[in-house]
Amino acid sequence: MNIESIDINSLEQAIKKSHDNSLDYLKESELLFDIKSYGHSLSFAILGIEEFGKSIGYRLILQYKLIPLRGRIDFDPNVLFKDIQSRHMTKQSISLIFSLLYQFSTTETYELKNRLDNQRKTISYSPQTRKFENITELAYDFKTIKRFQKAISRLDILDKQKQNGLYVEILDNNLINIPKKTRAKVVKDTIELLKRLLKQQTI
């Protein structure tokens, strides 16, 4: 399927439904946390982050269909559409990176635009890594980036944490992963991150 065959109404519905699904995952994650089912709670919070990212990804596709994007956000809409349908890293990356853009102060937004213009760079989606990633390089010294640095550094392990929270597995040295061994603080931090994402983006 390519974006030319997707109608605008379907995209608008997908934006809302994936956002609502993210809210549902948040509620379910909090319920699981309350009964100390930490592994499952963590996994549901990460699924919520992914659904939030999917909602924003669909917004980008919709924007591209309505008014083809020019300038400082660069992506192949068909590649992005395929990846937000199937790639966990893509959805996690979109959640964090675009939430940063939404939370930049007016001053930071102005400075970032000037930096992009002066360096002739774009916020680009990489088909290799399947992430919007270079914004953290372009805005590494901004306060907003620093506030999210811990969350950004977790991007590469979020999917593994999600898997560990759901399944029993034999790991290296014959250790057995049990979801219940997940630390409460890691879960709480992830739930709070999802809340922050949802709070600043409404449908």
Phi, psi of 74 (to 5 degrees): -125, 125
Contact 148, 104 (CB under 8 A): no
The structure tokens 């250790």 sit at: 175
Dist. CA 197–CA 93, nearest whole Å: 12
pTM across the whole model? 0.86
Other Cβ atoms closer than 10 A to 1: 9
Residue 22: the pLDDT is 96
pLDDT per residue as tens digits for the range 36-69: 999 999 999 999 999 999 999 999 899 888 866 5
What span, in angstroms and rounded, lies between the C-alpha atoms of 54 and 91? 5
pLDDT per residue as tens digits for the range 138-148 = 888 899 888 88
For 193, residues 6+ apart whose C-beta sits below 8 A from its C-beta are 45, 49, 151
Determine the pLDDT at residue 177: 81
